[in-house]
Chain A
């Protein structure tokens, strides 16, 4: 069960990290 929980947590971490990075790039492209 531990491996499954780790897989789900890491999936969430990867997506949150990516979406934050994307948000930062949009802000930079706007010159904010």
Chain B
């Protein structure tokens, strides 16, 4: 059996198309952030971090949401592909969340005059990052057949963090994050382009990450 025989035939061409689109869109969004979007009046150029920070935060929630859905699908069907999707999406969500936790303090240092403060959104997001890191620690430590089931249960239970992060600015006082932001004109267009770019990037990265799961599964079937 070929090592990647579990990979659908259209997988590699689809991956290449997605990667070309993702890189082109991300570069276009960075150009738009630098040259097309105007400088924000109060915060100045540092506000341009919004075009990488906010899309990364949204895609983090999409990725962990996909982990939740795929985990339910695995427990329902017991098909290994759902577990592969859950684990892959969770890993990519961690990378996006890391970008959020790096870009956020850089923005906060300029906007709030501090690298970090224990306000609701920052605190809940850090807890989210730690708990989903725990998903990977637990998953990698289990070698038995129950690995997929335990991972799926975790993928479902940890989902409770997402609405907490989303609603943290409303549920607790002292939030420095704004409840609502209204953008117009070039700023809004640049943010929408950035959102699209990072969503396509996530899709391309999912294709690449799932390849690892296909290869591992093929190797396990041969063993």
Contacts and interface: CB of A to CB of B under 8 A. Distances in A.
A2 to B, nearest CB: 8
Given A3-B46, A4-B45, A14 B215 contact: no
Given A10-B102, A14-B99, A14-B102, A3 B49 contact: yes
Contacts of A19: 205, 208
Interface string A10-24: 110011001100100
Interface of A is mostly: helix
B78 interface: no
A11 B52 contact: yes
Interface residues of B, number: 30
Nearest to B44: A1
A29 B84 CA distance: 15
A11 B103 contact: yes
Nearest to B205: A19
A1 B209 CA distance: 34
Interface in B30-76: 30, 33, 44-49, 52-53, 56
Nearest to B208: A22
Contacts of B44: 1
A3 B110 contact: yes
Interface of A: 1, 3-4, 6-8, 10-11, 14-15, 18-19, 22, 25-26, 29-31
Nearest 10 pairs of A and B residues by beta carbon: A1-B45, A7-B103, A29-B215, A3-B106, A7-B106, A4-B48, A7-B49, A3-B46, A26-B212, A18-B95
